[in-house]
Structure 1
Amino acid sequence: MTVPAASVPFRLSAAQLGLITANFLMWGGFFAVIPLVTVHFVDGLGWAASSVGLVLGVRQLTQQGLTVFGGAWADSLGPKPLILGGCLIRTLGFGWMGFADTLPVLLAASVLAGLGGGLFDAPKSAAIAAVTASEHRARMFSLTSISGNLGMVTGPLIGAALIGLGFRTAALAAGSVYLVACAVLAATLPHIRPARTVGSGLAGLKTAALDRRFRRFTLVLVGYFLLSTQLNVAVTLKAVTLAGPGATGPLYGLSAGLSVLLQYPLLRFVERRVRTRAALVAAVLTVGLSLGLMGFAVTFPQLLACVALYSLGTMLVYPTQQTLTARLAPPGLTGSYFGFSAISLGLGGAVGNLLGGVLMDAGERAGLPLLPWLTLMGVGVLTALGLRWALREVPRREEAEAGRA
């Protein structure tokens, strides 16, 4: 895939604006309907919570599993057709959820929605890397992350307003948002023709898996994604214990709001002073230490202060991780590398959701409330040390560019 010349100042092109806008729409559409699935089927229709948990888990597994291959296909076909196709398939999946009245139908609809996400996830990252000069990628990934956080904030508000008109209306509206995203990218994103590279396509996944540096990087990041899921598990449980069920609104609002306000200026401040590798290690260490401090929080405001520190770490991880992934990928295999990197999110997310609850239960049974938090802090410290080891051979951007020339 072609990369723009490195000397151009950072000004957003139509393709970059289209990707940022589409990302906002995708996240907004997702969070407009997914939180309502539990409300509608458990509270409204009286289904078992475990059934809905199965549905949501199947969707995530489907999406993460296909993401690995979606990135490889982007190296063969170009990212645009996969992103557009994924948006259309997700529209059908979310729309079908609105008509589901049995568990098999809802499962089928969630699988379809997961297939759509798996098709556009890694190709979207590959497209961002392709239309952005290497020295501007961290900023572009940061802006994309900010647009996703805006969608995460506005999506549930829109969903809450639409649920008054019925779940079917909300599901159809959320699905149609992906049609709008599809139209935006069809108009703004060029068809990036992949370079004819030996080993592209599915063989690119093998190249990524055999790349010792990248394999280490991906596997060590499992530890970070284990920690990043704790906002939904351990942190939420502690917030509800301290302040009741209404605590989830301020909790998620603070996390997403700080990302929207601070992510870009914080990244600009850090990238002028710290190497990308060191910034990623420090960010992961910050996340781990903030989780450790949460064990000592005895009031909800104290917990929110720890969540603010946690958010400062997480908002730096995404753009630096994506930038390093693009830097490590050989020419023509960017999609395969982004696809392979989804393994860390899939494994870390799955283990983190399970481990967070297990640790909280174990701490309560043993009368050791600090146990889960100190354990998570230990995981953070080990992950930061592991990243320092895994990234020691990763070249600086200038060296990487010289090696590609």
Structure 2
Amino acid sequence: MTTTAVGATGLVRLLVVTQFAFNVGFYAVLPHLATHLSDQLGLAGWLVGLVLGLRTFSQQGLFVIGGALTDRFGPRPAVLVGCALRIAGFTWLAFARDAWPVLAAVVLIGFAAALFSPAVETEIARQAVDRERRTGEPRTRLLGLFHAAGQAGALLGPVLGVLALGSGFPAACLAGAGVFALVLLGHWRLMPRTAATTGHPRLVTALGGIARHRAFLLLCLAYGSYLVLYNQMYLALPAEVGDPAALGWLFALSSGLVVLGQVPVSRWSARVLSAGAALRAGLVLVAAGCVATALLPGDGPLPAAVFVVLLTAGQMLAVPAARALVPDFAGDRGLGLHTGALSSLSGVLVLVASAPLGALVDLGGATPWLVLAAIPLLGALCVPPTRREPPG
């Protein structure tokens, strides 16, 4: 039994705008957190690293919990509670002055995202599949639009943060909280109320099922190989560039390319590629970026720019495709759990790979980039077959 506050088209718009707003609020605060902790609060470097690591763990690692709750109670409660916790976390962080309150606020901020992000991602995937069944429009087109909206928020959020920082870091936190307050209000008024469903297996049982689902685990490995390479934007790329200002422009270039290119790329790939083929092609492009960076002469912006462009091109193919494949493995009642598990398991792969790859990057030269190129190529080999036929 469902009471619908908006129609299907209105719900899609709400979800796309929500993803944009999530990233506006997030990136208004988080890029400035490390500087605030070290410069304004005087925390030691290891403690700053711990704070940032706990935020990532409390978010990415718990996506699977948020996805399971979405399956059980529907997306609306998960989004509303998650937004309320994010507002509380940002407000707490604005006034925290000691290590323990900062740690608690940051964990709360991360856990909030572990609730609302899987809920929104699950619902947009469900709407994309439903639209594909009704109209024949490939699901990757809507998922690509969703991804582009998130990147637009990631591009605008730091600008909002810089403007708010003129009044201090607390003002940036409160600006971010204000964005999430608007999202909370919008979903309170417009998100459909879905009755709680029964018949879901216990979480431990459901996780056991995922652990035995070979094809889905292969998808997680494939998507995780992309995330490992995307993480090089924060690890290998700074070592390659060396100039913080140039690095900032490269990040802006990546987001700008997605904002401008994601929708046409998704339309093209939907016409000529299946989701599995698009994921493989995206991973090959990411590998090509690593090889080009290794072979191009000299250091500095040119090899780095080539890497960013090819990585972003691969991202525009791989991310919507990976999300489009999840419903094929999830079943009718497990879409939220599988959506969350894709993020959590891929995040574990990034965590495991970070230390050895960091040591490799310290060696410098072409070798690290050639080794990095092997990761998405192996990921492309992991992409599982699906029952759906490729388009046209």
Common fold, TM-score beyond 0.5? yes
Instruction: Tell me the distance in 2 between the aligned counterparts of 1:66 and 1:294.
Output: 34
Identify the residue that residue 274 of structure 2 maps to in structure 1.
Answer: 275
The counterpart of 1:225, out of the listed 224, 227, 230, is: 227
* Aligned residue pairs, count: 379
Q: Tell me the residue number matched to 2:74.
A: 78
Compared with structure 1, are the counterparts of its residues 380 and 215 closer, same or farther at alpha carbon in structure 2 (3 Å cutoff)?
closer
> How big is the shift at 1:194?
6.0
Q: Contact between 1:58 and 1:111, CA under 8 Å: does it hold in 2?
A: yes
Q: Provide the residue aligned with 1:130 in structure 2.
A: 126
Deviations 1:99-131 (A, max 9, x none): 111111100001111110111121111111233
* 5+ long unaligned stretches in structure 2: 133-137
Please say if 1:96 is aligned against 2:98.
no
Q: Identify if the C-alpha distance between structure 1 residues 56 and 338 changes in structure 2 by more than 3 Å, giving closer, same or farther.
A: same
Q: Which amino acid aligns with 2:163?
A: A
Report SS of the residue matched to 1:101.
coil
Q: Distance between the aligned counterparts of 2:270 and 2:202, measured in 1?
A: 32
CA apart distance, 1:398: 9.0
* Counterpart for residue 217 of structure 2: 215
- Cα-to-partner distance string for 1:6-63 (whole Å, 9 max, x where unaligned): xxxxx97111111111111111111110111112121233322221111011011011
Moved more, 196-205 or 105-114: 196-205
CA contact (8 A) 1:263 1:315 kept: yes
Match of 1:115 among 111, 114, 118: 111
- Aligned residue runs from structure 1 range 318-397, under 5 A: 318-361=319-362, 363-364=363-364, 369-387=365-383, 391-392=384-385, 394-396=386-388
Aligned to 2:239: 237
- What is the distance in 1 between the residues matched to 2:227 and 2:29? 24
Shift of 1:200: 6.9
Could you say which residue in structure 2 is the equivalent of 1:174? 176
Q: Whole-Å Cα distance in 2 between the matches of residues 55 and 225 of structure 1?
A: 21
d(CA) in 1 for partners of 2:81, 2:67: 14
Question: Amino acid of the residue matched to residue 130 of structure 1?
Answer: R
Normalised by the size of structure 1, how large is the TM-score? 0.88
Provide, for residues 41-91 of structure 1, a one-character-per-residue CA deviation record: whole Å limited to 9, x for no partner.
Answer: 212333222211110110110112221111111111111101111011011
Query: Is the counterpart of residue 304 in structure 1 residue 311 in structure 2?
Result: no
Q: Which of 136, 147, 150 is matched with 2:149 structurally? A: 147
Contact 2:292 2:303 in 1 (8 A): no
Find the residue that maps to 1:13 and give its secondary structure. helix
Matched to 2:338, the amino acid is Y
For residues 263 and 219 of structure 1, the distance between their equivalents in structure 2, rounded to whole angstroms, comes to 23
TM value normalised by structure 2: 0.91
Unaligned stretches of 5+ residues in structure 1: 3-10, 400-405
CA contact (8 A) 2:61 2:348 kept: no
CA distance in 2, matches of 1:373, 1:246: 22
Alpha-carbon contact 1:68-1:336 (below 8 Å) kept: yes
| Separation (CA, whole Å) in 2 of partners of 1:198 and 1:26 | 29
For the 8 Å contact 2:62–2:344, the answer to whether it is kept is no
The answer as to whether partners of 2:221 and 2:346 remain within 8 angstroms in 1 is no
| Shift, 1:379, TM fit | 1.4
Q: Does the 8 Å contact 1:86/1:117 carry over to 2?
A: yes
* Aligned residues of 1:221 and 1:344 also touching (Cα < 8 A): no
Further displaced range: 284-293 or 128-137: 128-137
Q: Which residue of 2 aligns with 1:293?
A: 292
Q: Contact 2:221–2:382 at 8 Å: present in 1 too?
A: no
Please say if residues 93 and 110 of structure 1, whose CA atoms lie closer than 8 Å, have aligned partners that are also in contact: yes
The answer to whether structure 1 residue 38 and structure 2 residue 29 are counterparts is no
Change (3 A) 1:25 1:192: same
The alpha carbon displacement at 1:236 in A equals: 2.3
CA 1:26–1:20 in 2, change beyond 3 Å: closer, same or farther? same
Change (3 A) 1:45 1:76: closer
Rounded Cα–Cα distance in structure 2 between residues aligned with 1:191 and 1:317: 32
Counterpart position of 1:402: none
User: 2:162 aligned with 1:163, yes or no?
Assistant: no
Shift of 1:397: 6.0
The aligned residue for residue 63 of structure 1 is 59
Distance 1:314 1:55 in 2: 28
Closer/same/farther in 2, CA of residues 256 and 19 from structure 1, 3 Å limit:
same
Q: Aligned partner of 2:177: which letter? A: G
Which range moves more in the overlay, 346-355 or 117-126? 346-355
- Give the Cα–Cα distance (whole angstroms) in 1 for the partners of residues 127 and 148 of structure 2: 18
Contact 2:56 2:110 in 1 (8 A): yes
- Residue identity over aligned pairs, in percent, reads 32
